């Protein structure tokens, strides 16, 4: 292995320092990690998944099954990166994986010795004893042995972005077909995005000598595309998935040591590209050949060897055996020969094309026909191969074996929308199935393996795609192609396969048996035979051998999916890009069926693995989801509130002014409200403006109780049900005018209620002339509650008459504050005299401060949600813990407000038989009757003496210590037929280890006559 | 990602919308007391593997409830109309 | 059935794997069976196994339109738990858990049931109280459950986000130590092999296209392999229950929705339990192969396509990083979708049907895998005796009529929100 | 699409934003629009997303039967015939974020799924920004207004600023 002194697409003026397994190495700008390793003479780069066999570099692209490395450290540690896709960068640190203590000497390679017992699925048949939990013991070791690279446990310090893109034509792949499609569509005036995963555009053109005509066409086309404002060429960008409605998932990466301004400071950026049409120009992937020890370092795909030679100027070996069953390996052989290495071609066919034989002879290459490699020798690097040919077997010494088993079109993306690929006999491969309207394919992915053909096809579909989008400008291309030249004229021997293939329009390969003829005889000839000692690999990454497939078949795991799942074939990070087809045809052979008969597995996104963080983008940490803040938020923070997340809202939980912790504070805040007054920020309540000629009728239908009789200037508590009769939400609605109402909902349900109201108006009752609009953000809302609340209100708004006469309980008045709206509604959640003050959000904080100031002489202070919740429990008001989506109006003791009404949402199904089952729990009050003990929310209720098991007769939903009663009290749901007021129950909370006697009482613990509210 | 062509706002990602379920079921009039009618409206679903008429609300846009004709096998959308337009 | 054991592994290893028999036969369908189970997924195969094992009914066929285990049993995230709150669910899923604990031995097939424990994070004091109630209910029903505070959670899973910048700080968690994961394919194969050993015919690539009636009674099925007679027919085709149910004239409260699942590239052991986000759609475990397996919520619109949308992929990824910042650099290898039967209360249906001779098992929503053994056990009982099993009696079809729904989430009759 | 340049000159400012919402009843739209035209003294936008400029503000059609009158100063008092429709002042609940700069496109593509290039000057789009409903008004190729709910405004401003930081 060595770097050539000239040629290739690397920049020899820019040396790059990097390390592999702590060894300092150098490469050039334009290298991949793989090409740089080869240039440094490093052939052994990893250990295999199961048997820990030494592995080298097998390919030159994202299909790489072997050369996986880990890059970075700590939070930046990233395992399992194919060295073939890593762009070499200064200071790059890579290490090999799945080996200990070292790559050259790996303890676990002993697994190879136990190979006979570690056949496919062996673990399903053992590890089942001696005890039932024995598996957990064995599993520990299996887990540690598995898993390739190690991920970091520290947070990823890097930044990710997600952006939205739009285009008329999205071209996937910047090879000859894609480039020419983009050119045609661009010239037609369409908005084009062409996406290439590599850091260079060109695709297969890059594997041809950098001085050929193909390269001329490439540079010309790229220049032309760069000059078009309506075309964007995105390199280093992978289309990882194609989703419904032509949405493509892209992941963009930075160049080596450069910052792409489109991506900015992010490490990677996911782009969601919404395209009107898609052109698949994804090319094809070469297939391996199967023979014993076909995984030895130094064995690689023929196309890869050619890429390393022509693109990276790296000669991967000096004594080369080329094994093939088709023409496409010959150009690799010819280019290698031109580089002056000794070459043997082992061709399984009887009659390769004469022109190839002719050219081979001219270059002094020995071609062995009807020959197959049966075995490779060498441990950490291939030393020789055994070739069986008509005359017998010969051994060829070598340091590089390049193989070609034909080509598999890269149909992955075309099948993400579940259009299954279809088999084409003539090329023995799967090509895209029927594509949706507006989807096109061109080039090798369609099974045409000729550069010139791909360029022509690309131009055609590019034009079709543009037309599909309504693009009109089809002027003759200003930049014309010389197809004859690209077609690599007869005189250009290096493109003989193109020229030759062009004869019959498809690569002239007649598929041999999917496995080598020898293995066919050996394994399929005699089904009863045992499996061989040596390993012939089908899936190099998952260590799946021919033997495993034979065994799967023998045990009846013969459907393609069973094969995959039983042997783990194709489950690796490469998703079996090089192995799937081989395995299919092997199983087909075993079952005596054709490949299309046994079918193919589904290709799933992503095409290549995508970092979870890239998909999350900036929605991380405190940016994960936006907060909602009330107009008084800053005041709370500045005045010692402990803030609390409730859904998207931030609310004050309690104020440190009231106590050192929540338990102290909420009691102090309760006392304050009961004895003087407190101020609470209730801006988070959902608020909906309801108006129109039919508004009252509308409310009569959505609430269980009637609103049409509600006088103007009055408020009413209302409950809404779901269609199934379960309680949906509660709140108050105030009548502002004949046709105008102001509705409030719970904080949590606001958006759902509005959407439901709109649903009913748009779909069920379009005849009702009603407008509903969220005004949640319009109003800052605060509740001043307590005996002193009226005095405080009067002091704060001296111009307003808030006397009991002017503003009785459930009364409302409209005013304004500095030309901003001000609305006061006398409502109480706490049971005390209380007023809800709604002020224009822009002056909310001002009004709040004004109330605080006016309240000082009366002992007014703010209180938080903890105290609010406790106050409502004392008053017996239901809330979230009781309205849990399973309770009915009657469960909550609210059936009286509906009375005998009908015609409201949920009325009919609310009367289902089981909803009035006497054993159904109903709201009760509970009071702790054991001194020194407390009640706990979530405790389960039993009759005294009853065994405490099962689900009990009910549960405690909310509790608080009641300063008023000097006792722990709570609300609960308890079986109707057992709920006698005054009877004692046992409340048990096994988790807290509490069991306490509680008496069933009225839920209204204080002021049952409501005297505090009135007057 | 679905792209739904809102008749008012144009094509948008489906996460701008709120799903509302089967639009082929008929809601009884508000004061209909027929249990069977309400039971079927709320619970019984044809759930076809194929063309499906369903409600979506464009909550991030015009807030209109729409009726979308979509194939549940391949997610292709055939038609979108405002829910207030009479049924086709 | 030749037994699987360390010994048989050794013997076959030395013999070049020569003597392994088929795991199950590939018989042609007989003209008539006592019971025909439609659906060769986990539930159908388990039902067939328990019909033979518990009720001695061996003249049974399982008809599968594709390959066994090709449905949701082969595409789920393998979480097994019994941390349910409501009467009906609690006992059923705990019974299932007990069957899991002996499954490998009962089937002589290692389903790799690994009781690694599952914890669900709480992100508010109220949620932690709710978990306390659930854990109490579990304990009172003989199910292991614990509540962890923030520090105990941190001890157990230090890689979660305990930083100041966390969007929703972790207050604690509910833990069920006996919860775990299993190798999903192995469950289908294990039941298939064990049922086959009892004489059950497992017939793959055999799609049921209709039902054969004698008057009102169903006496067989039309299939792509011809007519097959049956004394009783059991449907176990969750995901496609509506499609077949309608052929039989059933009106069902079921919608089909897609639930996505994700697996990352294999990495060395990182996640040792099942960890679920308490308020967002994300839960994760690590397979024995090393891949992080995670899932989220359903895509949210009716679908029979076994693939999900990118918006939900991103939502799950966001929740994943929010809970577990170190997952950011781990790369997703594959994501796919399964078709769920969603019911109006997110609880399943195991029952006799209004149609004589037809029995129904479906509506598993996203909870079907963990229920596989209990579902098969109870459905077999229902078919064999013509009576609902006490443990599954609550899963009747008429509960929506009567109001005896079992709505763990309290979401209501909106399948796409369940 | 790529201009390859870094992105200086990104600015964002927040203002209060007076809005009056007008809604006409289904079946009375023709009369309602005629009435509203008369009261506003100018033509009304035809399609959702269209805008019409008035001396004292801008009228945006935000739904088939809904218009928003965006006022620079205090909103006018306009009474609508209750048989034709209704009016609702929304002057308190939204904040107008004015964002501008050469990097605007890059910032917006990180914030909203809107095809900025296909959007004409003066057009309005209602869409989602970080899961929040917003109204985007394109003023020019390098300037737009975002009308965002007041309770989200601080969070969204941070989100947008963060996006601009990411692409400079």
Whether residue A484 is predicted with pLDDT greater than 60 in this model: the reply is no
Contact C112 A139 (CB under 8 A): yes
Residue of A nearest to C12 (CA): A117
Residue range C187-212: average pLDDT? 98
Helix (H, G, I), strand (E, B) or coil at A539: strand
Nearest to A940 among C67, C136, C186 (CB): C136
* CB burial of residue A646 (10 Å; 0-12, 13-18, 19+): middle
The 3-class secondary structure across chain C, one letter per residue, is CCCCCHHHHHHHHHCCCCCCCCCCCCCCCCCEEEEEEECCCHHHHHHHHHHHHHHCCCCEEEECCCCCCCCHHHCCCCEECCCCCCCCHHHHHHHHHHHHHCHHHHHCCCCCCECCCEEEEECCHHHHHHHHHHHHHHHHCCCCCEEEEHHHHHHHCCCCCCCCCCCCCCCEEEEECCCEECCHHHHHHHHHHHHHHCCCEEECCCCEEEEEEECCEEEEEEECCEEEEEEEEEECCCCCHHHHHHHCCCCCCCEEEEEEEEEEEECCCCCCCEEECCCCCCEEEECCCCEEEEEEEEEEEECCCCCCCHHHHHHHHHHHHHHCHHHHHCEEEEEEEEEEEECCCCCCEEEECCCCCEEEEECCCCCHHHHHHHHHHHHHHHHHHCCCCHHHCCCCCCHHHHCCCCCCCCCCCCHHHC
Angle between helices C368-385 and C89-101 (to 10 degrees): 100
Closest residue by Cα to residue C264 from A147, A85, A121, A621: A147
- Torsion sign across C-alpha atoms C73, A585, A285, A503: negative
Domain spanning A686-773, CATH class:
alpha beta
> Strand (E) positions, D47-111?
51-54, 57-63, 66-71, 85-89, 94-100
Residue of B nearest to D64 (CA): B8
* B-proximal residues of D, 60-79, CB under 8 Å: 62-64, 66
Distance from the Cα of C256 to chain B's closest Cα (Å) equals 7
Q: In this complex, how many residue pairs, one in chain A and one in chain B, have their CB atoms less than 8 Å apart?
A: 70
Residue range A484-503: average pLDDT? 35
The total of other beta-carbon atoms located within 10 Å of residue C322's CB is 26
* CB burial of residue C28 (10 Å; 0-12, 13-18, 19+): exposed
* C-proximal residues of B, 2-41, CB under 8 Å: 2, 13-15, 19, 21-22, 39-40
Task: Give which of D155, D157, D159 to mutate to test A binding, by max A Cβ within 10 Å.
Answer: D155
* CB burial of residue C386 (10 Å; 0-12, 13-18, 19+): exposed
Q: Which CATH superfamily is domain D10-15+92-165 in?
A: Probable tRNA modification gtpase trme; domain 1 (3.30.1360.120)
Residue of B nearest to C343 (CA): B43
Distance from the Cα of B34 to chain A's closest Cα (Å) equals 8
Structure tokens at A185: 């569509």
Q: Is A915 on the interface with B (CB under 8 A)?
A: no
* D-proximal residues of A, 180-209, CB under 8 Å: 191, 193
Q: Give the model's pLDDT for residue A519.
A: 44
Contact A776 D93 (CB under 8 A): yes
**A949 contacts on C by Cβ (under 8 Å):** 140-142
The total of other beta-carbon atoms located within 10 Å of residue D145's CB is 22
Q: Give the model's pLDDT for residue A492.
A: 34
Nearest to B1 among C246, C311, C344 (CB): C311
Task: Give which of A236, A686, A771 to mutate to test D binding, by max D Cβ within 10 Å.
Answer: A771
A531: pLDDT confidence band, cut at 50, 70 and 90? low
Task: Give which of B23, B39, B47 to mutate to test C binding, by max C Cβ within 10 Å.
Answer: B47
Residue range A703-710: average pLDDT? 97
CATH code of C386's domain: 3.50.50.60
Across all residues in chain A, what is the average pLDDT?
92
What is the rounded distance in angstroms from the CA atom of residue D95 to the CA atom of residue D12? 12
Q: Give the model's pLDDT for residue A899.
A: 92
Under 8 Å between Cβ of A96 and A55? no
Question: What string of DSSP letters covers A439-471?
Answer: EEE-GGGGT---HHHHHHHHHHHHHHHHHHTT-
**A416 contacts on C by Cβ (under 8 Å):** 307
Q: What is the DSSP letter of A761?
A: I
The domain A636-683+778-870 is classified under which CATH number: 3.30.1360.120, 3.40.50.2000, 3.40.190.10, 3.10.450.50?
Answer: 3.30.1360.120
* CB burial of residue D27 (10 Å; 0-12, 13-18, 19+): exposed
Residue of A nearest to B75 (CA): A244
Domain that holds residue C19: 6-82+84-109+184-254+345-417
Give me the average pLDDT of each 10-residue run along chain B (88 residues): 96 97 97 98 97 98 98 96 85
Whether residue C1 is predicted with pLDDT greater than 80 in this model: the reply is no
Whether residue A256 is predicted with pLDDT greater than 90 in this model: the reply is no
Distance from the Cα of A625 to chain B's closest Cα (Å) equals 15
**Second-level CATH architecture of A288-405:** 3-Layer(bba) Sandwich (3.50)
- Calculate what percentage of chain C has a pLDDT beyond 90: 94
Contact C336 A604 (CB under 8 A): yes
What is the rounded distance in angstroms from the CA atom of residue A583 to the CA atom of residue A287? 11
Contact A908 B33 (CB under 8 A): yes
Show which residues on chain B lie within 8 Å of chain D, measured between beta carbons: 8-10, 12-13, 15-16, 59-64, 82, 84
Q: Give the model's pLDDT for residue A264.
A: 86
Q: Domain extents for chain D?
A: 10-15+92-165, 18-90
Q: Give the model's pLDDT for residue C286.
A: 97
Contact A604 C130 (CB under 8 A): no
Task: Give which of B4, B12, B66 to mutate to test D binding, by max D Cβ within 10 Å.
Answer: B12
pLDDT tens-place string over residues D129-150: 999 999 999 999 999 999 999 9
What is the rounded distance in angstroms from the CA atom of residue C365 to the CA atom of residue C239? 8
Q: In sequence order, what are the residues at sequence separation of 6 or more whose Cβ sits closer than 8 angstroms to the Cβ of residue A809?
A: A826, A828, A833, A1013, A1014
Contact C253 B45 (CB under 8 A): yes
Length of chain D as a residue count: 168
Task: Give which of D29, D115, D127, D129 to mutate to test B binding, by max B Cβ within 10 Å.
Answer: D127
| Global ipTM | 0.97
Whether residue C153 is predicted with pLDDT greater than 90 in this model: the reply is yes
Residue range A59-71: average pLDDT? 97
Contact B57 A247 (CB under 8 A): no
Q: In sequence order, what are the residues at sequence separation of 6 or more whose Cβ sits closer than 8 angstroms to the Cβ of residue A591?
A: A553, A558, A598
**C242 contacts on B by Cβ (under 8 Å):** 45-49
The total of other beta-carbon atoms located within 10 Å of residue C2's CB is 11
Query: Beta strand pairing status for C79-80 and C60-63?
Result: unpaired
Contact B57 A759 (CB under 8 A): yes
Indicate the fold that domain A14-152 takes in CATH: Ubiquitin-like (UB roll) (3.10.20)
Residue range A735-762: average pLDDT? 98
pLDDT tens-place string over residues C213-236: 999 999 999 999 999 999 999 999
Least confident of A188-192, A583-587, C318-322, D151-155: A583-587
Q: Is D126 on the interface with B (CB under 8 A)?
A: yes
Nearest to A908 among B35, B59, B74 (CB): B35
The total of other beta-carbon atoms located within 10 Å of residue A200's CB is 17
Whether residue C77 is predicted with pLDDT greater than 80 in this model: the reply is yes
What is the rounded distance in angstroms from the CA atom of residue A885 to the CA atom of residue C408? 9
Helix (H, G, I), strand (E, B) or coil at A295: coil
Under 8 Å between Cβ of A692 and A767? no
Nearest to D62 among B15, B62, B82 (CB): B62
Whether residue C392 is predicted with pLDDT greater than 70 in this model: the reply is yes
Contact C301 B74 (CB under 8 A): no
β partners of residue A971: A925, A958
Residue environment code for A917-955, b if the CB has 16+ CB neighbours within 10 A, otherwise e: eeebbbbbbbbbeeeeeebbbbbbbbeeeeebebbbbbb
Q: Where in chain A is the domain with CATH 2.40.30.110?
A: 917-1014
- Torsion sign across C-alpha atoms A947, A951, A953, A958: positive
Helix (H, G, I), strand (E, B) or coil at A664: helix
- Torsion sign across C-alpha atoms C318, C319, C323, C329: negative
pLDDT tens-place string over residues A424-477: 999 999 999 999 999 999 999 999 988 999 999 999 999 999 999 987 676 554
Indicate the fold that domain B3-82 takes in CATH: Folate-binding fold (3.30.2270)
**C313 contacts on A by Cβ (under 8 Å):** 249, 615
Q: Where in chain A is the domain with CATH 1.10.10?
A: 511-593
Residue range A24-45: average pLDDT? 97
Angle between helices A213-226 and A176-187 (to 10 degrees): 40
Subunits with 3+ C-beta pairs closer than 8 A to A: B, C, D
Q: Domain extents for chain B?
A: 3-82
Task: Give which of C300, C302, C400 to mutate to test B binding, by max B Cβ within 10 Å.
Answer: C302
**How many CA atoms are closer than 13 Å to the CA of A821, on its beta-carbon side?**
19
The answer to whether residue C209 is domain-embedded is: yes
A100: pLDDT confidence band, cut at 50, 70 and 90? confident
pLDDT tens-place string over residues A970-997: 999 999 999 899 999 999 999 999 999 9
Q: Which residue has the higher pLDDT, A265 or A864?
A: A864
Q: Which residue has the higher pLDDT, A417 or A850?
A: A850
Nearest to B65 among A272, A762, A765 (CB): A762
Contact B72 C302 (CB under 8 A): yes
Whether residue A499 is predicted with pLDDT greater than 60 in this model: the reply is no
Q: Give the model's pLDDT for residue A514.
A: 37
Q: Is A470 on the interface with D (CB under 8 A)?
A: no
Under 8 Å between Cβ of A614 and C327? no
**C413 contacts on B by Cβ (under 8 Å):** 42-43
A211: pLDDT confidence band, cut at 50, 70 and 90? confident
Residue range A519-535: average pLDDT? 51
A344: pLDDT confidence band, cut at 50, 70 and 90? very high
Indicate the fold that domain A917-1014 takes in CATH: Elongation Factor Tu (Ef-tu); domain 3 (2.40.30)
Structure tokens at C374: 């209990």
What is the rounded distance in angstroms from the CA atom of residue A811 to the CA atom of residue A809? 5
What is the rounded distance in angstroms from the CA atom of residue A193 to the CA atom of residue A163? 14
Q: How many domains does chain C have?
A: 1
Contact C288 A612 (CB under 8 A): no
- Calculate what percentage of chain C has a pLDDT beyond 70: 100
Domain D18-90 in CATH 3.50.50.60? The answer is: no
Indicate the fold that domain A160-284+409-493 takes in CATH: FAD/NAD(P)-binding domain (3.50.50)
The total of other beta-carbon atoms located within 10 Å of residue A113's CB is 10
* CB burial of residue B78 (10 Å; 0-12, 13-18, 19+): exposed
Task: Give which of C241, C256, C301, C349 to mutate to test B binding, by max B Cβ within 10 Å.
Answer: C301
pLDDT tens-place string over residues C246-282: 999 999 999 999 999 999 999 999 999 999 999 999 9
Residue range A801-828: average pLDDT? 96
**B84 contacts on A by Cβ (under 8 Å):** 762, 766
Nearest to C326 among A152, A645, A724 (CB): A152
Distance from the Cα of A751 to chain B's closest Cα (Å) equals 10
């Amino acid at each position: 292995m060595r770097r050539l002194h000239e040629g290739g697409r690397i920049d020899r003026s820019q040396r790059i320092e990097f390390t592999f397994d702590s060894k300092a190495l150098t490469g050039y700008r334009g290298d991949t990690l793989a090409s740089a390793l080869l240039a440094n003479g490093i052939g052994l780069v990893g250990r295999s998944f199961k048997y820990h066999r030494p592995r080298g570099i097998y390919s030159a692209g994202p299909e790489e099954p072997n050369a996986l490395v880990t890059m970075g450290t700590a939070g930046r540690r990233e395992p399992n990166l194919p060295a073939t896709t890593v762009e070499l960068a200064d200071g790059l640190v890579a290490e090999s994986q799945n080996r200990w203590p070292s790559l050259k000497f790996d303890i676990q390679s002993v697994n190879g010795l136990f190979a006979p017992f570690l056949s496919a699925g062996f673990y399903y048949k053992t590890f089942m004893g001696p005890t039932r939990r024995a598996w957990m013991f064995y599993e520990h070791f299996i887990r540690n042995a598995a898993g390739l690279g190690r991920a970091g446990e520290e947070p990823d310090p890097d930044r990710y972005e997600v952006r939205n893109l739009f285009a008329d034509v999205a071209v996937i792949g910047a090879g000859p077909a894609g480039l020419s499609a983009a050119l045609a569509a661009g010239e037609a005036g369409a908005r084009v995005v062409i996406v290439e995963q590599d850091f260079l555009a060109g695709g297969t053109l890059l594997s041809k000598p950098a001085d050929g005509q193909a390269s001329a066409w490439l540079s010309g086309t790229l220049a032309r595309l760069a000059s078009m404002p309506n075309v964007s060429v995105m390199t280093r960008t992978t289309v990882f998935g194609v989703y419904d409605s032509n949405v493509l998932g892209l992941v963009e990466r930075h160049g080596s040591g450069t910052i792409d301004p489109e991506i900015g400071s992010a490490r990677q950026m996911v782009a969601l590209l919404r395209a009107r049409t898609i052109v698949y120009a994804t090319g094809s992937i070469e297939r391996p050949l199967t023979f014993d020890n076909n995984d030895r370092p130094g064995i690689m795909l023929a196309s890869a060897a050619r890429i390393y030679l022509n693109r990276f100027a790296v000669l991967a070996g000096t004594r080369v055996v080329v094994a093939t069953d088709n023409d496409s390996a010959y150009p690799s052989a010819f280019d290698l020969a031109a580089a002056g290495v000794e070459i043997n071609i082992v061709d399984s066919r009887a009659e390769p094309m004469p022109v190839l034989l002719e050219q081979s002879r001219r270059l002094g290459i020995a071609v062995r026909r009807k020959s197959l490699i049966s075995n490779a020798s060498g441990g950490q690097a291939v030393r020789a191969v055994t070739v069986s040919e008509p005359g017998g077997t010969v051994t060829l010494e070598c340091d590089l074996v390049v193989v070609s088993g034909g080509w598999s079109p890269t149909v992955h993306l075309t099948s993400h929308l579940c259009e299954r690929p279809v088999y084409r006999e003539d090329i023995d491969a799967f090509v895209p199935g029927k594509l949706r309207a507006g989807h096109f394919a061109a080039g090798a992915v369609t099974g045409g393996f000729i550069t010139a053909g791909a360029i022509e096809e690309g131009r055609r579909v590019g034009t079709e795609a543009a037309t599909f989008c309504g693009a009109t400008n089809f002027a003759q291309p200003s930049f014309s192609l010389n197809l004859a030249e690209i077609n690599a004229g007869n005189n250009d021997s290096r493109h003989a396969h193109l020229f030759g293939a062009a004869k019959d329009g498809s690569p002239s390969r007649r598929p041999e048996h999917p496995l080598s003829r020898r293995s066919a005889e050996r394994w399929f000839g005699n089904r009863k035979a045992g499996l061989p000692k040596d390993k012939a690999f089908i899936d190099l990454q998952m260590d799946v051998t021919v033997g495993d497939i034979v065994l799967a078949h023998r045990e009846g795991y013969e459907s393609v999916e069973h094969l995959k799942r039983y042997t783990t074939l194709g489950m690796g990070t490469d998703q079996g890009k090089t192995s799937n087809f081989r395995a299919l045809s092997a199983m087909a052979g075993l079952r005596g069926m054709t490949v299309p008969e046994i079918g193919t597995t589904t290709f799933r996104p992503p095409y290549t693995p995508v970092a979870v963080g890239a998909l999350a983008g900036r929605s991380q940490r405190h940016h994960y989801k936006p907060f909602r803040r009330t107009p008084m938020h800053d005041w709370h923070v500045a005045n010692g509130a402990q803030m609390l997340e409730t859904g998207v809202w931030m609310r004050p939980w309690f104020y440190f002014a009231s106590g050192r912790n929540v338990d102290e504070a909420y009691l102090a805040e309760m006392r304050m409200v009961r004895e003087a007054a407190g101020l609470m920020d209730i801006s988070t309540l959902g608020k909906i403006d309801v108006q129109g000629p039919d508004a009252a009728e509308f409310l009569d239908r959505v609430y269980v109780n009637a609103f049409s009789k509600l006088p103007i200037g009055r408020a009413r508590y209302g409950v809404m049900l779901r269609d199934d009769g379960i309680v949906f939400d509660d709140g108050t609605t105030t009548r502002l005018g004949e046709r105008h109402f102001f509705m409030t909902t719970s904080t949590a349900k606001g958006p759902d209620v509005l959407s439901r109201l709109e649903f009913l108006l748009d779909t069920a009752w379009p005849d009702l002339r009603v407008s509903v609009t969220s005004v949640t953000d319009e109003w800052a809302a605060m509740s001043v509650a307590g005996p002193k609340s009226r005095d405080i209100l009067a002091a704060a708004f001296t111009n307003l008459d808030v006397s009991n006469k002017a503003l009785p309980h459930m009364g409302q008045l409209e005013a304004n504050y500095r030309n901003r709206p001000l609305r006061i509604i006398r409502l109480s959640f706490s049971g005390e005299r209380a007023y809800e003050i709604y002020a224009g959000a822009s002056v909310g904080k001002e009004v709040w401060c004004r109330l605080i100031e006016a309240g000082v002489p009366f002992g007014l202070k703010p209180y938080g949600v903890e105290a609010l919740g406790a106050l409502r429990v004392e008053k017996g008001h239901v809330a979230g813990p009781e309205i849990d989506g399973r309770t009915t109006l009657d469960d909550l003791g609210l059936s009286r407000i509906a009375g005998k009404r009908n015609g409201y949402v949920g009325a009919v199904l609310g009367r289902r038989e089981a909803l009035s089952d006497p054993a159904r729990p109903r709201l009760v009050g509970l009071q702790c009757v054991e001194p020194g003990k407390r009640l706990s929310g979530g405790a389960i209720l039993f009759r005294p003496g009853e065994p405490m098991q099962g689900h009990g007769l009910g549960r405690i939903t909310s509790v608080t210590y009641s300063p008023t009663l000097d006792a722990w009290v709570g609300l609960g749901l308890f079986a109707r037929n057992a709920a006698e007021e005054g009877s004692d129950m046992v409340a048990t909370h096994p988790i807290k280890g509490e069991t306490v006697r509680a008496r069933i009482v009225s839920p209204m613990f204080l002021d049952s006559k409501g005297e505090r509210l009135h007057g | 990602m679905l792209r739904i062509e809102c008749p008012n706002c144009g094509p948008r990602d489906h996460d701008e919308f709120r799903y509302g379920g089967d639009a082929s079921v008929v809601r009884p009039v508000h004061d209909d007391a027929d249990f069977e009618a309400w039971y079927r409206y709320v619970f019984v679903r044809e759930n076809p593997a194929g063309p499906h008429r369903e409600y979506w609300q464009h909550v991030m846009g015009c807030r209109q409830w729409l009726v979308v004709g979509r194939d549940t096998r391949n997610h292709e959308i055939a038609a979108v109309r405002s829910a207030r337009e009479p049924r086709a | 059935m030749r037994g699987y054991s360390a010994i048989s592994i050794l013997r076959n290893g030395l013999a070049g794997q020569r003597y392994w028999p088929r795991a199950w036969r590939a018989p042609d369908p007989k003209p008539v069976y006592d019971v025909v189970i439609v659906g060769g997924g986990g539930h159908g195969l388990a039902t067939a196994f328990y019909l033979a094992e518990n009720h001695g009914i061996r003249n049974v066929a399982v008809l599968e339109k594709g390959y066994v285990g090709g449905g949701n049993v082969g595409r789920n995230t393998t979480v097994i738990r019994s941390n349910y709150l409501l009467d009906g669910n609690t006992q059923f899923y705990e019974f299932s858990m007990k069957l899991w604990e002996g499954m490998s031995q009962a089937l002589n097939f290692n389903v790799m049931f690994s009781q690694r424990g599952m914890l669900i994070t709480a992100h508010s004091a109220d949620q932690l109280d709710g978990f306390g109630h659930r854990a109490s209910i579990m304990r009172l029903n003989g199910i292991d459950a614990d509540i962890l505070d923030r520090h105990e959670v941190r001890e157990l899973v230090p890689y979660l986000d305990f930083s100041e910048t966390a969007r929703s700080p972790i207050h604690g968690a509910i833990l069920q130590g006996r919860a775990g994961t299993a190798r999903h394919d192995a469950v289908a194969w294990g039941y298939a092999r064990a049922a086959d050993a009892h004489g059950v015919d497992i017939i793959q690539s055999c799609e049921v296209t209709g039902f054969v009636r004698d008057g009102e009674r169903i006496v067989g099925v039309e299939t792509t392999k011809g007519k097959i007679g049956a004394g009783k027919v059991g449907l176990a085709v969750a995901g496609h229950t509506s499609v077949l149910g309608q052929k039989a004239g059933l009106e069902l409260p079921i919608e089909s929705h897609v639930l996505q699942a994700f697996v990352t590239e294999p990495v060395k052991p990182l996640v040792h339990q099942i960890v679920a986000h308490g308020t967002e759609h994300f839960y994760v475990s690590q397979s024995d192969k090393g891949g992080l397996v995670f899932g989220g919520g359903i895509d949210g619109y009716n679908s029979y396509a076994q693939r999900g949308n990118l918006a939900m992929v991103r939502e799950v990824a966001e929740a994943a990083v929010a809970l577990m910042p170190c997952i950011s650099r781990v790369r997703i290898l594959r994501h796919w979708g399964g078709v769920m039967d969603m019911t109006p209360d997110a609880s399943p249906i195991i029952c006799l049907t209004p149609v004589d001779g037809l029995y129904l098992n479906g509506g598993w929503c996203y909870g079907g895998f963990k229920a596989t053994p209990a579902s098969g056990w109870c459905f077999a009982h229902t078919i064999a005796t013509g009576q609902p099993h006490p443990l599954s009696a609550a899963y009747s079809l008429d509960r929506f009529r009567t109001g005896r729904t079992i709505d763990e989430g309290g979401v209501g009759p909106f399948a796409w929100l369940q | 699409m790529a201009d390859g340049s870094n992105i200086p000159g990104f600015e964002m400012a927040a203002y209060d934003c007076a809005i009056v919402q007008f809604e006409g009843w289904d079946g009375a739209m023709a009369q309602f629009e005629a009435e509203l035209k008369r009261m506003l003294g100018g033509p009304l936008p035809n399609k959702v997303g269209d805008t019409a400029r008035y001396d004292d503000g801008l009228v945006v059609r935000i739904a088939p039967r809904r218009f928003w009158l965006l006022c620079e100063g205090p909103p006018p008092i306009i009474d609508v015939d209750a048989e034709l429709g209704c009016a609702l002042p929304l002057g308190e609940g939204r904040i107008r974020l004015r964002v501008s700069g050469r990097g605007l496109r890059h910032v917006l593509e990180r914030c909203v799924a809107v095809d900025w290039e296909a959007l004409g000057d003066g057009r309005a789009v209602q869409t989602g920004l970080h899961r929040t409903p917003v109204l985007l008004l394109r003023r020019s190729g390098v300037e737009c207004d975002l009308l965002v709910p007041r309770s989200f405004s601080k969070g969204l401003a941070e989100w947008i600023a963060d996006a601009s930081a990411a692409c400079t």
